[in-house]
């Protein structure tokens, strides 16, 4: 397998990573949009993430039960390509379901449509994550997954801009309504269906593991996987919690005093930070190039991605047309400093996913502490800068957790995807803290998540079986 080139199929897979990143980050827009339309409390708004990420738990649990009881991996039966095409089709159906939800003017109906959409995203992740890791040399699996996650973060970077423009301006006639949301998701649904057809027609190599999977919970005897499941839950939950409530935080008078639409634009700096970090990580963890080559590529990537974020966030839709109004560089100086720190962190964690997880989670813990205890620009950019250091979490945890699983790889992958339910739980827990103690103190929830990730990177990832 190592002698073959899988560039074409890998490019196709990275587009799928982009698509689910784009649609997932739209939840952060919906949380604030539905607040005005349905007059919701913070816990009620948190149901957006609960419906979306709750689907990850339910669908992945069903997948795990089928694979463990039948002794066969469902993906091996239908193939990765067909699995991804079907998943995209389900995503399209979920998006289009927003239209009847708008006709009913029902928040419950919107949540149901989100659940269907998320079910498709769940299946897509179960197929695409392990597929990305096997499209090349095993030692470069983490590098490839970081690269694919970088494209996922490109989706999360442009998603807030596109979503804000479509919902608040293009499909809004001066007053925000459910129709603004429905029309936006109708467009997204047609795009997903188009990608489904293209994926089905594409040429992608078939990888199958014909080994029989032992019924039961044998896969959980792998301690590093069991602890990795918890790590994924804390990682996704912490990242989604920050993304969910960052707009609320930036609107605070002593933080940024921004309006709804302006605060939403800064989501692109948060999610763009993940893209920057993940693309640098794909180079940092690449064992096939020299240290000097890595440094040059990392610098080019850092400058290039920052420029992209800067340009994208400078695009505004005003008076029926697009204008370019970028931020003054003096305003984003602290963000540039954080990019420099991010680059330095990568230079001391070359080729070491576990060490990177410890270093990056430690920096994020400090940034969250600053966001909780300070105000003004320090708090403002500290919370946004966490995106830079969340960047390597998913791919590093995922590759560490499935290491050495062999025939249990897809089954272990389904359990890790199931752990994405952390994205439903932690933002919900944080919403109750917001209601009782305010949004600033509520970021103690993702701070606790960082503590566990530090443990997993230091000790929990070590490959041993329970009882051995």
- What does the pLDDT read at residue 467? 47
Q: Read out DSSP for 36-53?
A: HHHT--HHHHTHHHHHHH
At 322 the three-state DSSP class reads: strand
Rounded CA separation 207/237 (Å):
31
DSSP H helices, 254-404, are 260-265, 267-284, 291-314, 333-347, 353-373, 376-390, 393-401
The CA distance from 446 to 460, in Å, is: 19
pLDDT at position 432, please?
A: 93
pLDDT along the chain (468 residues), means of 10: 63 84 87 85 89 87 76 73 91 96 93 95 83 70 70 80 83 79 93 91 69 62 89 94 91 89 83 85 74 87 89 77 82 93 88 89 97 95 95 85 76 80 90 93 96 94 66
- CATH node for 7-460: 1.20.1250.20
pTM metric for this prediction = 0.78
32, 176 Cβ separation under 8 angstroms:
no
* Token digits of residue 273: 């930070």
How many Å apart are CA 281 and CA 221, to the nearest integer?
A: 30
Measured distance CA(330)–CA(314) in Å, rounded: 15
412 near 402, Cβ under 8 Å?
A: yes
* Cα 53 to Cα 62, 127, 236, 435, distances in angstroms: 15, 17, 10, 22
Q: What is the pLDDT of residue 442?
A: 95
Distance, in Å, from the CA atom of 120 to the CA atom of 127, rounded to the nearest integer, reads: 11
Q: At what angle do helices 409-418 and 223-250 cross, to 10 degrees?
A: 30
> Rounded distance, CA 462 to CA 400, Å?
8
Q: Where are the alpha helices (DSSP H) in 202-290?
A: 223-250, 260-265, 267-284
DSSP character at residue 465: B
Nearest-angstrom CA–CA distance, 430 and 433: 5
Give the separation between CA 159 and CA 243, rounded to whole angstroms: 13
Model pLDDT, residue 278 = 81
Q: Roughly how many angstroms between the first and final C-alpha of the chain, as a whole number?
A: 32
Phi first, then psi: give them for residue 136, nearest 5 degrees. 150, -165
- Determine phi and psi for 334, rounding to 5 degrees: -65, -35
Q: Which residues contact 99 (CB under 8 A, 6 or more apart)?
A: 182, 183, 185, 186
Residues 6+ apart with CB under 8 A from 182: 98, 99, 101, 102, 103
pLDDT at 468: 45
> Cβ(357)–Cβ(456) under 8 Å?
yes
Annotate 406-440 with b (16+ C-beta within 10 A) or e (fewer): eebbbbbbbbbbbbbbbbbbbbbbbbebbeeeebb
Is residue 378 helix, strand or coil?
Answer: helix
Residue 383 near residue 372, CB atoms below 8 Å: no
Per-residue burial over 35-64, b = 16 or more CB atoms within 10 Å of its CB, e = otherwise: bebeebebeebbbbbbbbbbbbbebbeebb
Region for 71 from its dihedrals, namely left if φ exceeds 0, alpha if ψ lies in -120 to 50, beta otherwise:
left
């Amino acid at each position: 397998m190592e002698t073959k080139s899988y560039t074409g199929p890998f490019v196709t897979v990275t587009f799928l990573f982009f698509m689910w990143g784009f649609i997932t980050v739209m939840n952060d827009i919906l949380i604030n949009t539905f607040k005005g339309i349905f007059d919701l409390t913070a816990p009620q708004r948190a149901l957006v993430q609960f419906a979306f990420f709750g689907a990850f738990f339910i669908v992945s649990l069903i997948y795990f039960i089928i694979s463990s009881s039948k002794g066969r991996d469902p993906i091996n039966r239908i193939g990765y390509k067909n699995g991804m095409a079907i998943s995209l089709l389900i995503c399209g159906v979920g998006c289009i379901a927003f239209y009847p939800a708008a006709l009913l003017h029902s928040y419950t109906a919107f949540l149901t449509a989100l659940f269907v959409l998320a079910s498709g995203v769940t299946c897509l992740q179960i197929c695409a994550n392990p597929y990305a890791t096997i499209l090349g040399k095993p030692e470069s699996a983490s590098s490839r997954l970081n690269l694919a996650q970088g494209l996922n973060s490109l989706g999360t970077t442009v998603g807030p801009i596109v979503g804000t423009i479509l919902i608040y301006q293009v499909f809004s006639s001066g007053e925000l309504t459910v129709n603004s949301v429905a029309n936006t998701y109708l467009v997204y649904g047609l795009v997903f269906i188009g990608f489904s057809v293209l994926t089905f027609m594409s040429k992608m190599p078939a990888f199958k593991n014909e080994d029989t999977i032992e019924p039961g919970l044998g896969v959980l005897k792998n301690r590093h996987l069991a602890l990795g499941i918890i790590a994924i839950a804390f990682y996704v939950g912490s990242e989604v919690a920050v993304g969910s409530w960052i707009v609320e935080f930036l609107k605070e008078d002593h933080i940024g005093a921004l309006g709804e639409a302006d605060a939403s634009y800064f989501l692109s700096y948060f999610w763009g930070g993940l893209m920057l970090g993940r693309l640098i990580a794909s180079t940092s963890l690449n064992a096939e190039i020299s240290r000097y080559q890595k440094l040059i590529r990392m610098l080019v990537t850092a400058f290039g991605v920052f420029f992209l974020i800067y340009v994208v966030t400078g695009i505004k839709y005003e008076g029926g047309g697009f204008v370019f109004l970028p931020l003054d560089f003096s305003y984003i100086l602290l963000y540039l400093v954080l990019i420099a720190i991010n680059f330095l962190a990568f230079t001391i964690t070359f080729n070491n996913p576990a060490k990177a997880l410890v270093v990056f989670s430690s920096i994020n813990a400090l940034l969250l502490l600053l966001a909780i205890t300070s105000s003004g620009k320090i708090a403002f950019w500290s919370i946004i800068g966490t995106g830079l250091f969340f960047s390597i979490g998913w791919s590093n945890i995922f590759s560490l957790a499935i290491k050495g699983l062999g025939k249990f790889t897809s089954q272990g992958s389904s359990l890790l995807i199931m752990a994405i339910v952390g994205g439903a739980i932690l933002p919900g827990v944080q919403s109750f803290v917001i209601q009782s103690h305010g949004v600033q103190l509520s970021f103690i929830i993702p701070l606790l998540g960082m503590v566990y990730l530090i443990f997993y990177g230091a000790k929990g990832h070590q490959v041993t079986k329970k009882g051995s």
